[in-house]
Amino acid sequence: MTTIAQAYLHASNSGTDAELAEWGRRAEALAYEIASSVFPMEVELEITFQVGSLISRALVKKIGAGLLAAYGSVAIYPDFKEGLLEAIADARAFSGAFNERFMTEAGIKSNDIVARQRRTETPGRINRALDRLENLEQNSSGNRGSRYHQELRDAVFQLQWGLSDLEPSDRQQAVQLIVEYHEPRLPEPLLPQLMRPVAWKREDEEFGLLESTTDRPDIKFLAKLRTDEPLRSQVLLASKKTERGKLKH
C-alpha cells in the first residue's frame, strides 16, 4: 500500500492504562472520521501509541492502486504535478486536524508538546524530487560540472525512493509522464533508474523523530482501520499484553 500521510505527535504526558485505552479509542474514531471526510478514496489507517512520554502516529495508506487517478486526470505532466499538490494538501489537512483534535480530546497542552508534524509521505517525496529536477533544468543550462551531476543523482535517487512506494501500475504511469517531460531536458536517461524500485525503511527518513513502528518494545497500542468498512465493525485496538487485532482482509 502507498503511504500518503502521517500525523505525528510527541507529548511529555504519560497516562495510566485506562487513560491510554480511552485515548486510543478516541484516536481511532478521530482518524476514521477525518480521513473519511478528507480523502477522495478509501484508505487504511494505522494508529500506534508509544508510552513513557506519549507518542501517537496515524499513518494513512491508499487501499490498492489508483492513487494518481484518485486526484484527477494524469494524462499530461502538469496534471500529474497538480494531482500531487492536491494529495499533499489532503495529507496536511488530515494530519493537522488529527493532531489538533486529539490534543483537545486528550487534554494535551501546547507546552506539553515535544514534536508535532504533518508528514506528506509519498506524494510529498515525489513532488520535492520533481521540484529539484525542474530547478536543475531552469538554472544549470550553462553550468554542468560535478556539483550539477551530484545534485542530479541525488534528485533521481529521491525520486526513485518516492516512486518505489507506489503500486506497480501507478509507478509505471508516473515514470512514463516524468520521462516524457524531463528526459529531453536532462543529460542522462531517466528511465532505467526510475523503473528500478529502491528498498528503504520508513525510519531512514524520519530525522528528529523517535524510532519507527517496527521492533519497538514500548508500543502500547496498534490499531488498523479501513474507511471502506463501518467503524463499529472494526474492533482493532490492541494492547501489547494481548494478541494484536488483525484485519479480516
Q: What is the structure's pLDDT at 206?
A: 44
90-139 tens-digit pLDDT: 999 999 999 999 999 888 898 989 999 999 999 999 999 999 989 888 87
Mean pLDDT of the chain: 80
Give 213's pLDDT tier (boundaries 50, 70, 90). Answer: very low
Ranges 12-26, 147-161, 190-204, 212-226, most confident: 147-161
Q: What is the structure's pLDDT at 25?
A: 85
153-212 tens-digit pLDDT: 888 888 988 998 888 888 888 988 888 888 877 766 666 667 666 665 554 444 333 344
Q: What is the structure's pLDDT at 89?
A: 96
Long-range contacts made by residues 13-21, C-beta under 8 angstroms, separation at least 24? 13/53, 13/54, 13/106, 13/108, 13/112, 14/51, 14/52, 14/53, 14/54, 15/51, 15/54, 17/239, 20/49, 20/51, 20/220, 20/221, 21/221, 21/237, 21/239
Q: Please tell me the pTM assigned to this model.
A: 0.83
Domain limits, the chain = 2-233
